[in-house]
């Protein structure tokens, strides 16, 4: 990427700084949405033919808008899974416990909390899931051992949802039209992540190229047909 664009590579520290600061420097994505279906979509859509999409680009879009759109897409994917789980009466989400590299981004964690309307609890151990898998294997070999597990039960950083913002998120997620049009550009909050892919958007049929045309939504086909 750097060779083809003339841009210099960012160090890990520089990239982390940009990911934490640039999304908050703009009020919205300015209509840009990213569908991170780079290898298809998993739960709850299970569509391995979906492909990644960046749409809504305009002359006013800057680096910060693109970064914000990419980060928002992560929260929308999580929200899609939570919404599917909430359809079961026996499921109640009181808090979302997270770990992993992206959780180091405070802006991302707060956005996720606002979107779901519940606290997001970030483990002080960045890769707790991997450690948990190892501890389960150890417990299988030594059922009576719990010392290792107790050592990792540390404090969490908790991000409380801004309930003044949550209704707007909920309404947008529930009321967005197929493929996000028309109100997705008005709210700036709707979950285009799954909806573009779910509604047969940009589905690539390797064995039957003739199907490609019908896979593209009308509003995208009219504006972006080659």
At 10, give phi and psi (nearest 5°). Answer: -90, 145
Which residues is 159 bridged to in the sheet? 120
Which pTM was predicted? 0.68
Domains of the chain, CATH where assigned: 2-224 (3.30.420.40)
Dihedral of the alpha carbons of 203, 209, 215, 216, in degrees to the nearest 10 = 90
Tens-digit pLDDT profile for residues 108-132: 999 999 989 899 999 887 777 787 7
Cα gap 226→216, rounded to integer Å: 12
Tens-digit pLDDT profile for residues 60-75: 999 999 999 999 888 8
- Cα(first)–Cα(last) distance of the chain, in Å? 25
Task: Spell out, as residue ranges, where the chain has pLDDT lower than 70.
Answer: 1-10, 145-155, 168-226
- Name the nearest CA neighbour of 126 among 106, 108, 101: 101
Q: Can you give the pLDDT at residue 130?
A: 82
């Amino acid at each position: 990427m750097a060779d083809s664009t003339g841009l210099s590579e960012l160090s890990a520290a520089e990239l982390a700084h940009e990911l934490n600061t640039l999304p908050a420097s703009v009020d919205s994505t300015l209509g840009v949405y990213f569908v991170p279906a780079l290898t298809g979509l998993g739960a709850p859509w299970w569509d391995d033919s979906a492909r990644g999409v960046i749409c809504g680009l305009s002359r006013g879009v800057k680096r910060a808008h693109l970064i914000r759109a990419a980060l928002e897409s992560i929260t929308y994917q999580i929200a899609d899974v939570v919404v599917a789980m909430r359809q079961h009466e026996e499921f109640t989400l009181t808090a979302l416990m997270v770990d992993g590299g992206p959780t180091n981004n405070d802006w991302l964690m707060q956005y996720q909390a606002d979107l779901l309307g519940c606290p997001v609890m970030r483990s002080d151990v960045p890769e707790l899931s991997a450690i948990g898998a190892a501890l389960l294997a150890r417990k299988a070999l030594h059922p009576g051992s719990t010392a290792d597990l107790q050592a990792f039960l540390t404090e969490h950083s908790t991000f409380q949802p801004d309930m003044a913002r949550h209704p707007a998120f909920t309404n947008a997620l529930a009321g967005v039209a197929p493929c996000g049009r028309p109100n997705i550009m008005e709210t700036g909050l709707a979950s285009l992540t799954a909806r573009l892919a779910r509604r047969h958007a940009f589905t690539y049929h390797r064995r039957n190229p003739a199907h490609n045309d019908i896979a593209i939504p009308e509003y995208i086909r009219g504006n972006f047909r080659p």
